[in-house]
Structure 1
Amino acid sequence: MMYRLLLAVVGLANLPYIRTCCSPDVLQGNAMYYGYMVEEKESYQNMVKFYYDADKKKIATITTNMGNRTGQVRDIYDFAARKRYVITDNSSCNVTKLKRSFEKICVPSSAKFMGSADLGNSEAKMSVDMYRLKVKKGKMSGEADIMVTPMDGGKCTLVGVVMSGGKDGEIQMAETSVYMNFTFEISDKSVFQPPKQCYRNNESESLLFEVLGGIRREIYIF
């Protein structure tokens, strides 16, 4: 989202080497978002199920708001068809054009490797690599601290992100996200299939609630 998950690494300027890693081509998992919207003075907590298939060039997320708001939103990104579908409460559907090409889940070269650490205690710990990234696109800007877990074969998966961003140099949102329960196959491919109501609507250029969501998509996908 948007459409790069920052899972590759570049060493600090003083280091003579470069670390890189990318997500497996097929995966699904869960995430929790904890955030705050400055202008609205409102905090939120969202539970997200995400699905990623680089072979088919498709991404899907199912977001459930755990706070005061109710409802569920399913996003389907079909890069081959260059369409995005946003289905709210399994009823209304908004279809927009995808103007960006599909990119695999890898971090751009501007991300800096900040070091490694072990999470947990001495008996049950997980090694993580940490990176820092700044993003600027038009009036939108943001920065993020990212943790990933290295895997065999130069792969890695996202563990957590702490990020903030907004428009015109002002901080409009801050968010901490935690990623978990990864599996490297998608048993239910119907998550990528838009419901029939999506084919009755005309396409629009953008969605109103996308203004702040653009920052998240420039930093990581889900």
Structure 2
Amino acid sequence: MEMKFILLAVVALVGIVCEVNGEACCTPDQWQGVQASVSGFVYRHKPGRVEGVVYVFYDYANKQSAAFANYTSSSAKPRSYRIVTRYSNKTCASCSSGKLYVVDLKTDKCYTKKLDRPFRKACIPDSAKDTGSFSLGAGDASLKTRGYNLELRSQKYQLDFKLSVTEEGCIPVSELVTGVARGDCSWIHPAGIGSRVQRLFLLSQECQGLTTPLTSDLTLCTQLFFPVCFCLFASSVFLFMYCA
């Protein structure tokens, strides 16, 4: 089954999760934010529209992340999900012992998937183009930011990103994404601003015990409400997808 995603526009508080060399602009280790998106897609030769809001929480210090997502499509009722990643060895940055949990908040059913890559620090990649500095607001209420452009190309996706971060601290401010994605979905880390709340990363006994394994990312797309797959792939390369 083939899925084609046409990403119209996404604006979010984000951080990038690509590997970098040398000194780079990296976000704080712990923060939270809100992502709002309006996107179009083609599924089984039928066009559709997805609107979503995602509250995202990133905790690099403890190698975990969480997101609460609510999506409404043009052809289905609103659905809500809780998405959590946890790594058993929090002291080993290069260890690949993580697990992804996706909880359908309507049915309370849990889906899990083992992660075969380490929890990466959110940094601007070397391939991003610095587009210069600018200010938001005016006077004492102004915020100095720096912009970047990034292109990601592969057989599965062609995506263009315009993002901005604060000059001091590399705190994510905004993101605009356009492009086309096709095929399997991939998981990427959430991002935002603020401090973590530990209970957001806790899972119920039912979720930790009786879960449905996801054998592939495509299974995630077909087993769950379709727009969630869209979110996990295309909402932001900076939120849920490992860079190729």
Structure 1 92/202 Cα, relative in aligned 2: closer, same or farther at 3 Å? Answer: closer
TM-score, normalised relative to structure 2: 0.68
Structure 1 197/53 Cα, relative in aligned 2: closer, same or farther at 3 Å? Answer: same
Structure 1 65/211 Cα, relative in aligned 2: closer, same or farther at 3 Å? Answer: closer
State how far apart, in whole Å, the 2-side matches of 1:35 and 1:205 are: 27
Q: Does 1:60 align with 2:75?
A: no
Q: Does 1:43 align with 2:59?
A: no
Unaligned runs of 5+ residues in structure 2 are 1-13, 89-96, 184-190
1:159 maps to 173
Tell me if structure 1 keeps the 8 A contact 2:72–2:79: no
- Within the candidate set 72, 80, 85, 1:77 is matched to 85
1:190 is paired with a residue whose SS is helix
Structural RMSD (CA): 3.0
2:214 maps to 204
1:25 maps to 29
Q: Does 1:150 align with 2:190?
A: no
Aligned length: 195
Q: Does 1:87 align with 2:103?
A: yes
Shift of 1:117: 1.2
Q: In percent, how many aligned pairs have the same letter?
A: 24
1:213 is paired with a residue whose SS is helix
Shift of 1:28: 1.8
State how far apart, in whole Å, the 1-side matches of 2:181 and 2:159 are: 9
Tell me if structure 2 keeps the 8 A contact 1:7–1:148: no
Aligned residue identity for 2:238? Y
Unaligned runs of 5+ residues in structure 1 are 11-17, 171-178
2:117 is paired with a residue whose SS is coil
Shift of 1:158: 1.1
Structure 1 19/204 Cα, relative in aligned 2: closer, same or farther at 3 Å? Answer: closer
Structure 1 213/141 Cα, relative in aligned 2: closer, same or farther at 3 Å? Answer: farther
